[in-house]
Structure formats: structure tokens, C-alpha cells
Structure 1
Amino acid sequence: MNDPKTHPAKAFRAAILHSLANPTDVGLEDSYQYFEDGILVVADGHIVSVGYAEDILPTLDASIEVVEFKDKLITPGFIDTHIHYPQTGMIAAYGEQLLDWLNNYTFPEEKRFADTDYAREVAIQFLDELARNGTTTALVFGTVHKASVDEFFQEAEKRNLRMIAGKVLMDRNAPEDLTDTPESGYEDSKSLIEKWHNKGRLLYAVTPRFAPTSTSEQLRLAGKLLKEYPDVYMHTHLSENLQEIEWVKSLFPDSKNYLDVYDQHNLLSSRSVFAHGIHLCEGECTRLQETDSAIAFCPTSNLFLGSGLFPLAEMEAKGIKVGMGTDVGAGTSFSLLQTMSEAYKVLQLQGKKLHPLKSLYQATLGGAKALSLDHMIGNFESGKEADFVVLDLHATQLMKFRIEHAHSLEDKLFVLMTLGDDRTVCDTFSYGQSIYSTHHV
């Protein structure tokens, strides 16, 4: 692992854009900073300063290298608040809704992760793909196999990434060779927490797959882990599919609603992230807000599996934290740019608008807030960790042509989000160091 302290301060010059706050709360004008000709100064893996080149350049020590990116835009690294690394190998699997999709595609693929070598191979592919798409932080599902998470963390540590992951807990309603027990799930999770949580930039998430695949006893022990390690995360699924919701009702007849299953087992907190949350009732929304729990909005997979349209505006109006997730492999792209494009369409289908500055917020600072990491990542405030991405506004002939006809920042940003993909990312930096580049930096 590279030690950033062995690298001198460096300055990066390009157009620079980052979010300062949620546009919904403060209005568009006060929600961001944009420097058409900007400088980002980085040292020891952290942001030193950001501003206009004409203001910062005269203050820089002559020894500081200035790297210039022409026709490029620097933004904070993207933050993916829900993704499955073991599903990399079955992304773009045809023609099912959630429950059949799990049984026909997901479970057979996840069985392969009993093989440590395979888990390592996929972890490498997965992390390379994130970097190619400008994603520097993700909240990640492993499989039920303890080794799958070990391999993931080992590879993430080599790249010095700010990653959160966990072993899946699943003791029923799944193939026998993909289940654990309440006790083994608890012990394996405990062992992984002791080994990896807060090691470097790595963090652990207690990860019940979803209510139908865990018994009440397993969920109780998940709650016990959260009490024993109060700064770990809890990551699961919630109200993605109507058939799934009915199944939960039949399995947990004493619960008021789907969220209440988790609530009864003490799984709601400011570090709890629930993927999807499409079909929530008033009581569930109230409890999410009261406990400062977050939802991961996964538009690409919600459309792909026909799950429904996430009511972003309503969730925010209720004071619920929302991040954005690709949900690979039901999501069909690792690119948060493409995910932003799908989010726009999901809102359009509900008669709502999603402003490009709001989209950028959701994929950066909003994601950091959803993960309770906004004191460390998400924008370019001085002292934050230096995770950032360099985007090429001329990545394709069509983008170049369209950008030349764009007359405002908002217009350029919308083009970037609508036409952009992994080709748009030319450099990704984690903790101040390049982890992906299409050229030599």
C-alpha cells in the first residue's frame, strides 16, 4: 500500500466542481462551488485547498508540481451506497423480477465464492471497474463466505480505498450451501470486524441479505453485533419488490411492516443503510427519519428488475437521508454517471425534475452524508480525504460536439450525466494517489 506521506504536495489544474450542501435545503445557487480555471492542492492524502488558479498559483511553493488537465472537469470521487461485488460475473442477466432473479442467477453465482481464488479474481475485477468509473467509496455486499470478504478487503487495502463491506448473513430460504447459522454468522462477522474495521480506510457493515433469508435469531445477533461495535454499519435491503413485501408479511406476522422487522431487532441507526425503499408506508418513513437511517436509491436496478419508481422528493421532504447506488449486478452499469441518467428518467416518470447539480450532490456529498462520512469525504473542504476524479468533457465525438453547444455549467453537467460513462473518466485518485489513469500522470 502506498504511504501518501512519502509523496510531496501536488496541485491539479482544471475546471473544478464540488457540492457544498443539498440543493433541496439551501437552493441551487448556494449548493456548490465551481472554478472554471481552478486549482486543487493535495498533500499527505488530504485536501489542502481549492480555488481559482489566479488566486492559488502565486501562493504555491516553487517545488510543488502542478498537473494540468486541459478540457477536463475535476469532481469529488463518486460514492456508491449499494453494490454487490459477487454479482460482477452475472451483470446483465435476462428477464426476471427480484425473487426469481435471485434464485436463477444470483445464488448459483455466489456459490462460486467458496473458492478463495475466484473471490480474489472477482474482487480485483470489481475494484478495477469501480476505479475505471470514478467510484472511490462503496458500500459493498460480499457473500455468505467469510473468505469472500477477506479477499475483498485485502484488495481494497492495496489500493488504499475508503470502502465498507460485510459478509452476508443468510440462514434460511436460500440454497443449503449458501446458508450460515445465527451463531456462525455472528462469529464470522465478529472475526471480520476485529480484523478489518477501521484498518486503514476500511470499515465493516453487518449485512443480513434481507429479512426473508434471516431468522429472528440471526437478526437478533446482528443487533447484538451493532451494540458491541457501535461504529460499524448495517447494510440490507428494504421494500424493493411488492411480492417480496408480501413474503415478509407472511414470515414475520408480528411485525407492523417490513422495516419493523429490522426495528424490532435493533438494526436502525445513523449507520444503517437500506437499499431501495421504493414502497414504504408512512410509519416506515417516520422511523427511518427518527433513527437517522439512510436509503440507497438504485434507479438502474429498479428499472431493470421492474421494481418501481423511487419517490426521491417525498423521501427528502420527510427528512430521510438518501444516497445513490448502482446495485450491480441488478444494476447494469458500474458508472454513477449512467446511474444519474437513469435517476433523471425515474423522476421524469413521476412528473418530477432532477437537476444535474442535485444529481452530482447525490453521487458525492449526499452519498457521504448517507454513510455518515461527510466529515471525511464527499467534497473538497480543506482537511478531507483527497478522493477525486478527472472527467473528460470531450470523451466521445458526440459529447465534444454537444459540449461545444452548451451555454451554462448546468447544461454541460447534464450532458456529462446523460452521455457520460466509463469513457468519460480519465483519472481516478484515492487518498491523493492515482489508482486509474488513461495516461501517465
Structure 2
Amino acid sequence: MSIATPLHLRAYRASLLHFHADPAFAEHAYCWHEDGLLLVDGDKIHAAGDYAQLAPLLAEGTNVVDYRGKLIMPGFIDTHLHFPQTDMIASPAPGLLPWLETYTFPTERQFADPAHGREVAEFFLDELLRCGTTTAMVYCTVHKESVDAFFEASEARGLRMVAGKILMDRNCPDFLADTAEGGARDSEDLIKKWHKHGRSLYAITPRFAPTSTDTQLRLAGELAQAYPDTFIQTHVSENPDECRWVQSLFPASRSYLDVYDSVGLLRQRTMLGHCIWFDERDFARMAESGAAVAVCPTSNLFLGSGLFDFEGADAASVTLSLASDVGAGTSFSMFHTMNEAYKVARMKGSYLPAARMFYLATLGAARSMRLEGSIGNFTPGLEADFIVVDLQATPLLARRSAECNNLEELLFALALLGDDRAIGATYSGGRLVHQRAGMT
């Protein structure tokens, strides 16, 4: 094995976990090194394996950061959340549509102010990193300024982020409405400015079908065709009232999903939030198109929208990921998201092993975004985004972890009992971007 010079190589000793397959479909889906060594060269992964095998290959004088007793794994990837909704998280409402009208739209109005957008973006990114999330697919507002504010803040930290300006030209307050042509023009300007600039990637972002005219959706589809390596993100089949509303607005469409499919918005790198009220044909079309689901259990439970059908999605081989959906989601923590995903699956009559939940929050999310060649595990050459998990972070987590008999039990305890306190440190592109107070 070739080892870089001590000037560039950094080494981290801890237990290591990363995935190379979905545990639901592969017997040997992960790599686990109880005493492991992660080697980082600049901003890329150099190697990951057993300490006993890699340590003798290190050049003399290489500094080894000692995180023994802790767990290093790839940074979490959150595939659906709204940075402008940070300040309205935990706002009460009887359902999705009144929640939008009462809280979301008035809050998003403030993002015409670039200074406000930048301040919220800074706090939002602080929260993500504090919770161990190194990549996210993010909704901004209708304002171009909100996208600029977000990417300026994320690029200053060297983060791999995907974001886009919301498209919304009807069924919303006048102060948030764009136009079909203006929204498409603004989106194209932002694509040219930010897509593949540094570690930034752009997502074409209709809010959801009811707030876009046929013309706006068609123009979004044309943008997606003109820029095929961009992302697409929107909401679908979240709430029964919303589904009935879409049926009345688009009577020619077979289903809510068909609205997007008919205008060219269903393809690889399309991330659809929720997908709760799908039938078999919807799931089959998702798998055929290469589009992916962002499963948002905390927001679905908070708004009473419904329970995601993991078994139905798996039967159709649909690509899945987990997402916090802040601010309808009630926590930035992917541990909390896993916790609720497990309960949603149980209430729906299925079971999510802990290993699969961690896969869906790391490599599974990267694959759903078609970014597995950049992030998601510790394959040499991938971007060095990783977290240090402290299994002693709380007295209860420490006590339960000490009683675990195998890796599955340990991961399950972490998913059900962990929170932001369990993230000791977060690294992005090989750089330390968050360290918990008292962590050395």
C-alpha cells in the first residue's frame, strides 16, 4: 500500500464503521473495525482498516489522533430540509396546509433580506454540523438572495451541499409568488453561478405541485433536461388533504407522482420528500425512473401526515434515504430521525434493523443522490467527511452501550438513545468543522 508523506497524511484511531451495500439486500453490507485506523490525505480518504494492519505502514513521525473508545463513521447525509424554517421549528398546527399558511409563508417572507438569510444560514449549518450532518439537500425560499446566502455560508466552511430556490407562482401569498418565466430564469442564473462551484450543487426546486402552474412545472422540466446533472427536489403525497387538492388541480394526471413525471421532473437525482400515499404503480415508476425517496418520519408524525410504507418501497426496489425535514421535522439530529423511522416501520408492520438505518443516513443517502462516487463511505479517494461518535456522551447511553453484545445492539442503542451530544467531532473535507465542548 502506498502511504503519503507525514506532511500530508493524517491518521485517526477509533472503531470504524462504513457501508458498501444495503443491509436489507446484502448479507455482508458493512466494514467494521473494532480497533481501526482512518487515513486522510488532504481532503480525501486514503485508507481505512484495522489498526494492526495499517499502523506499521505509516511513515515515521505521522501523528495519530487517538479517538479510542469512540466510533468514526461517514458524516450523516440529510436529503430533505428547509433552512428558512429554522426559526419556526416546533410551531403548532392541526395539519400541513394550515401549518404552511400560519407559519411557513410569513417566516419565509423575511428572506428577501440577504443579511437575515446569511444569519439564519450560519445558525442552520452550525446545527447540522453539531448533529454530525455533513451533506444536505436544502430548500431555500423564492428569493435568489436566500440561495446566495446559503451557498456563501456553506462554501466558507467547505461543505458538500445541495440547495435551490423554491418555485411557486400560485396558491401562495403575493409576497412570496414568483412567475413561471421569472422563476425559471432565476433558477438558471443560480445554476450557472453555484452548480459545481466548489462543493456546491444546485437543485431545481418546485415547492410542490399545488403552488406551481402547469407552465411553471413544464419550464422546470425543461431546465432539468437542459442541465441533466443538476438535482430536482420537491414534495409529493405527504398528506391526504394535499393529495385531494392535487387531484382537483391536475385532473388529467393518474396520480400525484404523475404530475411531475408528465413534465420531465422524474429522473436520476430527483429527490421526492414523503411519498406516503403511493400505490404500487407509483413505487414501480419511482424505481424505473431512478428517482429517490426522502423518508421524513419526524415531520410525518408531527403533522399527522401518515406512515411511510418501507415494505412497499422495498418490494419495488425504490432507492431510499432518511431526512429530518426541518422545520416540520422536530430535530436536526439523524439519531432522532432514525428513532422515529424505526417506530414508523413498526406501526406499519415492518422492522428496520439499526444497521439499515445507519446505511440510509450515510451511503444509502449518497446513492439516492448519485453521489456515492464522492461521499458516503471510506472508499479511498472519496471526500473525507466523517464524524466521531461518543458512546459515553450521556450516562444512559454509556450504561446501555456497555451491555451491548454485538454491533447491531450497539447501533440500535445509539439510534434510540443518541442525540447531538453523541457527536464528539465533525470533519468535512478532512477539516475539523465542529468539536463538542470538552472533547479532546
Alignment partner, residue 129 of structure 1? 127
Alignment partner, residue 353 of structure 2? 355
- Residue correspondence of structure 1 range 384-395 to structure 2 within 5 A: 384-395=382-393
- Residue correspondence of structure 1 range 26-425 to structure 2 within 5 A: 26-27=26-27, 30-425=28-423
Quick one: distance in 2 between partners of 1:226 and 1:176?
26
Quick one: distance in 2 between partners of 1:26 and 1:133?
28
Cα offset, 1:234, TM superposition: 0.6
CA distances 1:74-115 after superposition (whole Å, capped 9, x unpaired): 010000010000000000011321111100111110011111
Quick one: distance in 1 between partners of 2:6 and 2:395?
39
Q: Secondary structure at the match of 1:24?
A: coil
Quick one: distance in 2 between partners of 1:136 and 1:63?
30
8 Å contact kept, 2:16–2:37: yes
CA, structure 1 residues 7+234, in 2 after alignment: closer, same or farther (shift >3 Å)? Answer: farther
Quick one: distance in 1 between partners of 2:93 and 2:184?
35
8 Å contact kept, 2:77–2:134: yes
Matched letter for residue 11 of structure 1: A
Matched letter for residue 333 of structure 1: S
Q: Secondary structure at the match of 2:24?
A: helix
Quick one: distance in 2 between partners of 1:180 and 1:277?
26
Matched letter for residue 135 of structure 1: T
8 Å contact kept, 2:11–2:64: yes
Matched letter for residue 428 of structure 1: T
Quick one: distance in 2 between partners of 1:279 and 1:206?
23
Quick one: distance in 2 between partners of 1:55 and 1:309?
45
Q: Does 1:17 align with 2:17?
A: yes
8 Å contact kept, 1:7–1:43: no
CA, structure 1 residues 347+440, in 2 after alignment: closer, same or farther (shift >3 Å)? Answer: closer
8 Å contact kept, 2:35–2:68: no
CA, structure 1 residues 440+422, in 2 after alignment: closer, same or farther (shift >3 Å)? Answer: closer
8 Å contact kept, 1:12–1:68: yes
Cα offset, 1:24, TM superposition: 1.6
Quick one: distance in 1 between partners of 2:375 and 2:93?
37
Q: Secondary structure at the match of 2:73?
A: strand
Matched letter for residue 168 of structure 2: M
In the superposition, the TM-score normalised over structure 1's length comes to 0.97
Cα offset, 1:8, TM superposition: 2.0
Matched letter for residue 35 of structure 2: D
CA, structure 1 residues 388+401, in 2 after alignment: closer, same or farther (shift >3 Å)? Answer: same
Q: Secondary structure at the match of 1:198?
A: coil
CA distances 1:122-171 after superposition (whole Å, capped 9, x unpaired): 00000000000000000000000000000000001011111000000000
Quick one: distance in 1 between partners of 2:73 and 2:175?
43
Quick one: distance in 2 between partners of 1:417 and 1:290?
31
8 Å contact kept, 1:8–1:64: no
Matched letter for residue 374 of structure 2: M
Matched letter for residue 23 of structure 2: P
Quick one: distance in 1 between partners of 2:218 and 2:58?
55
Q: Secondary structure at the match of 2:325?
A: coil
User: After the TM superposition, which segments of 4 or more aligned residues of structure 1 sit over 4 Å from their partners?
Assistant: none
Quick one: distance in 2 between partners of 1:42 and 1:215?
48
8 Å contact kept, 1:49–1:381: yes
Q: Secondary structure at the match of 1:25?
A: coil
Matched letter for residue 9 of structure 2: A
Q: Secondary structure at the match of 1:322?
A: strand
Quick one: distance in 2 between partners of 1:201 and 1:110?
25
CA distances 1:217-269 after superposition (whole Å, capped 9, x unpaired): 00011011111111001100000000000000000111111011111111010
Quick one: distance in 1 between partners of 2:18 and 2:72?
8
Q: Secondary structure at the match of 1:279?
A: coil
Cα offset, 1:440, TM superposition: 6.9
Matched letter for residue 268 of structure 1: L
CA distances 1:265-294 after superposition (whole Å, capped 9, x unpaired): 110101111000000022212211111110
Runs (5+) with no aligned partner, structure 1: none
Runs (5+) with no aligned partner, structure 2: none
Quick one: distance in 1 between partners of 2:226 and 2:424?
42
Aligned residues: 435
Cα offset, 1:6, TM superposition: 12
Mean Cα deviation higher: 94-103 or 165-174: 94-103
Mean Cα deviation higher: 347-356 or 302-311: 347-356
Q: Secondary structure at the match of 1:23?
A: coil
Quick one: distance in 2 between partners of 1:179 and 1:330?
21
Q: Secondary structure at the match of 2:277?
A: coil
8 Å contact kept, 1:78–1:134: yes
Cα offset, 1:313, TM superposition: 2.1
Matched letter for residue 347 of structure 1: A
Mean Cα deviation higher: 166-175 or 399-408: 399-408
Identical-residue share of aligned pairs (%): 51
8 Å contact kept, 2:237–2:275: yes
